[in-house]
Amino acid sequence: MAPKSGQQKPASGAGPGNGAAPALVVFPSSLSARQRAFIHEVAGAAGLYHASEGEGAARQIVVGLQGARKVSVPANATSDADIVAALLEHLGLDARDRLPSTSYDRKGSGAGPSGGAGGGGDPTSVEAFVELSRKLIEMERAAEVAQATEETSMCSPETAQARGRTLLNLRVDDMEGGLLGRTLLTLVSNKGYGAGGPAAELPPHKFGPHDVVALRPSRGPADGPAVVSGVIYRIRENSITVAVDEAPEEGLDQPLRLEKLANEVTYQRLRGTLDSLLKARSGTAATPDGRLLPGGALLDVVWGRREPQFAAEAPEWKPLNTGLDDSQRQAVTLALSAKDLALVHGPPGTGKTTAVVEIILQEVARGSRVLAASASNIAVDNLVERLVRANPKLKLVRMGHPARLLPAVLDSSLEAHVLRSDNSALARDCRAEIKSINARLLKLGPRDRAERRELRGDLRRLGKEERQRQEAAVAEVIKGAQVVCCTLTGVSHRQLDKELFDVAVVDEAAQALEAATWGALLRARRAVLAGDHLQLPPTVVSDEAARLGLARTLFERLQTSVPTASAMLTVQYRMNKAIMQWSSDELYHGKLTAHPSVAEHTLRDMPPDAAAGAPGAGCKGSAKAAGSGGKKAAGSKKAAPAKAAAAPSEGTDPGSADALASLPVLMLVDTAGCGFEEQQEAEGSSYANPGEAKAVMAHVARLVRIGIPPQHIGIITPYNAQVALLKELRAQSVGGALEISSVDGFQGREKEAILVSMVRSNDGGGVGFLSDRRRMNVAVTRARRHCAVFCDSETVSQDGFLKRLVEYFSTHGEYTSAAELLPGA
Ligand SMILES: Nc1ncnc2c1ncn2[C@@H]1O[C@H](COP(=O)(O)OP(=O)(O)OP(=O)(O)O)[C@@H](O)[C@H]1O
């Protein structure tokens, strides 16, 4: 399969989500012979066109797709690092592992410090950090806009839909009021409308909850006027619900297309935070009413001018959650002792959020005012739910657009609190009076000038009073809150600009951009950051910005620079110990232990499950299902265990109990030698592997036959094209309860059985971003009782990390050839 020079084949290192359009990259003529040889070798292995053009000193290497747009690498970009960066940026070709002289931040990769600013280490001063961050944030904004433009306006609507950026031919299926004054529009596919039956499944797409979107006529121009815009509230397999401020009077009765809009507000706020950071450096960052932002004191700790300080004697505290394990108690003690900064490192399933909830409640108990923030709305909601459940009397307010909040936390939202307040009732009285004055004005004749003047005066007075009452209501609710919860960008909302706190607690801090994290940190005297830098980093669209340090989080760099301020949670409550041990040894220096309640659990001994087979059980986004012990809208997290061997359900095989009893915890399903080759998408850079997908579905069928309900099974694959393919196969077999997603879609979640489809199978050993340790760590550690890895062992073993994974699964689990799962294939 190795291509000859001049042959044109897809790049095997290119990853999905690498927004780069195909390119033909021209390298400068001044590269050394060694560098030229390296480029030929990498390009050849990836199956790309590569050739030398020109003569003598003007000879240049050209790599990429023939006929694609030409991109010239600048003449001064001649270092090894520049070459690797150009291959990655323009071709999605990851050659970082192959060139020892480059020390890169392997975007989304392994443990330890990742190089920060282009491999040159972290910025050494606040000023350098701000300068670099401004540049990287602008790069990221430009990349996001370019991606959106390219994927919508620059191509046909059908291509935009195929790329997941647009949904065409939708109709409004339902329009409901509520959601604190907003209107919810539920959109479904028009396909097959009128034929009766449920709406067709929506094509695969990249919309997510909370995206800002526009609805336009389906056939109109992509940049034409919108019928209405709003925020995505809910996503189901066959519908998307959008919350709009007000439903338009016309335009909704035609076929519609849904498009994502760039969210400029986030970037404005990040820039604002960077400005505040600089001011904090010079001691001038203040609230609009002139109070200094207390978090400025943290700068010296973060930039190494001062060690973090802790109370000489650890404060006494009585656990509110008496079930905390020792490592969780130590983390809480560390956080309560910290005078400036504490880190809680929570590997998968170790109860990080449980510890964070205790820290917040203990802080409140000792009189602190707490800012609790996280990068994503879903993580904030998870925290709010857990805090309110632990202490229903807590004075907590959840800031944010109601469409971005889970139904279960709406009652804690600012708007719900405000609606219940006295000032709000008075504001409503003003509104009613304004309405009646307007009605009277309409009835006045031309001669009633004096009365008109008087009524207009009343209107002005009432309008002002209504505004003041509303503002007072908002201010009162926020002032009275012991805990204010919001996203990190939400901290910069005008409503919070005068608020200061005793402590800022940031959950999921290893998924937050550093600039965003500072938004919260500047507002409080002390900070607690909780996260795991060995799981997925923040999503960054621009590979170049990620390489230069944008994906490097404050949490990650503090883990290295101030290890004394960090407490690691070491008992995990999710995985059978065989699943855990691989992750523990590979990423956490063997420090994890499995709690006895999970250490030996297998699919065989799942207790009877009332929810098994219940519609919606395990569906993504089901807030209710996430209610007890669950999190992050993951209906399946902590899902009640399935009906299994103890009582095989209807439709299961006779003898299923035996089959279940012999099912191993770990399985390595090898596709090597089966002829299942990877295939690259015709448009885009993602990969699929149809043969492997069939083997995965055969294993799903086997699990279902022996009594595991599909909602307890999850398939994870790093490649979107494989996600789409698996979903097609699912439609023909077990249906929607089986969840299939990329790794990102599963972070923070779990399933009883996880099947990982690695996809890559090629002669060149190209594994793209499979070698990313964090990504594979998240994939495997979603599994509670059973984990099956599907891969071509010959291809993936070219990478040392994946080779060890294959060996671990084969040694500690069952090794099967995919041919055994697909007899006759
Ligand atoms: N001390 C404990 N005793 C028993 N169960 C616990 C304990 N701590 C956490 N758990 C359980 O472990 C699971 C994971 O806890 P939690 O959601 O707090 O972890 P997390 O580290 O935030 O998870 P993730 O790995 O998804 O980030 C939950 O079901 C929780 O109830």
The 10s digit of each residue's pLDDT in 134-158 is 999 999 988 888 777 666 666 677 8
State the closest ligand 1 atom to the C-alpha of 572, by its place in the atom list counted from 1. Answer: 12
- At residue 759, the pLDDT reads 95
Q: Report which DSSP code applies to 220.
A: S
**Length of the chain counted residue by residue:** 825
Which residue owns the Cα nearest ligand 1 atom 5? 573
Task: Answer with the residue of higher pLDDT: 433 or 346.
Answer: 346
User: Ligand 1: which atom is nearest the Cα of residue 354?
Assistant: 18
pLDDT for position 6: 36
Rounded to whole angstroms, the Cα distance separating 186 from 474 reads: 30
User: Which ligand 1 atom is the nearest neighbour of the CA of 749?
Assistant: 26
Give, using CA atoms, the residue closest to atom 1 of ligand 1. 324
Is residue 16 over pLDDT 60?
no
Note the pLDDT tens digit of each residue in 171-218.
Answer: 998 887 654 556 788 999 888 776 666 778 888 787 877 788 889 988
Report the pLDDT value the prediction gives residue 32, as an integer from 0 to 100: 66
- pLDDT at position 34: 60
Q: Which one has a higher pLDDT value, 255 or 470? A: 255
Which pLDDT score is estimated for 605?
87
Give the distance (Å) from ligand 1 centre to CA of residue 571.
9
Under the banding of pLDDT at 50, 70 and 90, the label for residue 406 is low
- The DSSP bridge partners found for residue 183 are 244
Q: Is the pLDDT of residue 580 over 60?
A: yes
* pLDDT band at residue 404 using 50, 70 and 90 as cut-offs: low
Specify the pLDDT at position 814. 96
Query: With a 6 A CB cut-off, is 12 part of the ligand 1 pocket?
Result: no
Q: How confident is the model at residue 4 (pLDDT cuts 50, 70, 90)?
A: very low
The pLDDT of residue 753 is 97
- Cα–chain center distance at 101: 32
Helix 577-587 × helix 800-812 angle, to 10°:
150
* Cα 348 to middle of ligand 1, angstroms: 9
| Class of the CATH domain delimited by 164-262 | mainly beta
Confidence of residue 461 (pLDDT cuts 50, 70, 90): confident
Please, which pLDDT band fits residue 617 given cuts at 50, 70 and 90?
very low
Ligand 1 centroid, distance to 774 Cα (angstroms): 20
Q: Alpha carbon 729 to chain centroid distance?
A: 26
Give the nearest ligand 1 atom to 781 CA. 25
- Of 377, 343, 773, 405, nearest to 530 (Cα)? 343
Lowest-confidence pick of 363-372, 499-508, 625-634, 766-775: 625-634
Kindly give, in sequence order, each residue whose CB lies less than 8 Å from that of residue 667, ignoring residues fewer than 6 positions away.
Answer: 699, 786, 787, 788, 789, 809, 813, 814, 815, 816
Mean pLDDT of 450-478: 82
pLDDT band at 415 (very low <50, low <70, confident <90, very high): confident
Q: Of all protein residues, whose CA lies closest to atom 29 belonging to ligand 1? A: 629
Instruction: Say if ligand 1 is within 6 A of residue 325 CB.
Output: yes
The pLDDT, as a whole number, for residue 801 is 93
Ligand 1 contacts CB of residue 386 (under 6 A): no
- Report whether pLDDT(12) > 60: no
The letter for the amino acid at 546 is A
What is the topology classification, in CATH, of domain 657-821? Answer: Rossmann fold (3.40.50)
pLDDT of 619 higher than 60: no
pLDDT value of position 264: 79
Which carries the bigger pLDDT value, residue 662 or residue 424?
662
Of 430, 408, 410, 406, the closest CA to residue 420 belongs to 410
Shortest-distance atom of ligand 1 to CA 325? 1
Among the atoms of ligand 1, which is closest to the Cα of residue 352? 21
CB 604 within 8 A of CB 662: no
Ligand 1 atom index nearest CA of 747: 26
User: Mean pLDDT, to the nearest integer, of 454-473?
Assistant: 80
Residue among 354, 358, 750, 754 whose CB has most ligand 1 atoms within 8 A, to mutate:
354
CA distance to 274, 304, 548, per residue, from 128 (Å): 11, 14, 13
- Which residues are 273's β-sheet partners? none
Residue type at 25 in one-letter notation: V
Whether 352 lines ligand 1, by a CB cut-off of 6 Å, is yes
pLDDT at 610: 35
Q: What are φ and ψ of residue 64, in 5° steps?
A: 140, -140
Q: Which residue has the tokens 């201010």?
A: 475
Q: Which of 573, 592, 749, 781 to mutate to test the pocket of ligand 1 (most atoms within 8 A of CB)?
A: 573
pLDDT digits (tens, 9 = 90+) for 220-229: 776 678 889 8
Please tell me the predicted confidence (pLDDT) of residue 81: 72
Q: Is 45 helix (H, G, I), strand (E, B) or coil?
A: helix
* pLDDT score, position 33: 61
CATH of domain 23-96: 3.30.1370
160 CA to centre of ligand 1 in angstroms: 40
CATH architecture of 271-395+482-569: 3-Layer(aba) Sandwich (3.40)
Domain boundaries, the chain: 23-96, 164-262, 271-395+482-569, 657-821
d(CA 328, ligand 1 centre) in Å:
10
Q: Is the CB of 267 under 6 A from ligand 1?
A: no
Percentage of residues of the chain with pLDDT beyond 70: 82
Q: Would the CB of 638 count as within 6 Å of ligand 1?
A: yes
CA of 715 to the centre of ligand 1 (A): 22
Share of the chain above pLDDT 90, in %: 44
Lowest mean pLDDT among 178-182, 278-282, 379-383: 178-182
> What pLDDT shows up at residue 632?
40
Q: Which helix (H) or strand (E) holds 62?
A: strand 60-64
Closest-CA residue to 692 (of 720, 722, 731): 722
Residue 161 pLDDT: 82
Going by C-alpha positions, the residue among 767, 640, 787, 764 that lies closest to residue 50 is 764
Q: Which helix (H) or strand (E) holds 258?
A: strand 256-260
For residue 324 and ligand 1, the question of a CB distance below 6 A is answered with: yes
What is the pLDDT at residue 614?
35
Q: How far apart are CA 296 and CA 283, in angstroms?
A: 7
pLDDT of 644 higher than 50: no
Instruction: Tell me, yes or no, if the two domains 271-395+482-569 and 657-821 fold the same way.
Output: yes
- Answer yes or no: is the C-beta of 351 below 6 A from any ligand 1 atom: yes
Mean pLDDT across 490-499 = 90
49-76 pLDDT tens trace: 888 777 666 778 888 887 788 888 877 7
Query: DSSP 3-state assignment of 734?
Result: coil
- What separation in Å is there between the alpha carbon of 630 and the centre of ligand 1? 9
Token pair, residue 195, equals 């034929």
Q: 3-state DSSP: the chain helix, strand, coil percent, rounded to 5? A: 40, 20, 40
Residue with tokens 């880190």: 343
Mean pLDDT of 427-447: 77
Query: Does residue 125 have a pLDDT over 70?
Result: yes
325-368 residue pLDDT tens: 999 999 999 999 999 999 999 999 999 999 999 999 999 999 99
Torsion sign over Cα 584, 590, 594, 595: negative
* Model pLDDT for residues 104-118, shown as the tens digit of each residue: 223 333 333 333 334
Nearest residue to 377 (alpha-carbon basis) of 486, 507, 483: 486
- Higher-confidence residue of 99 and 72: namely 72
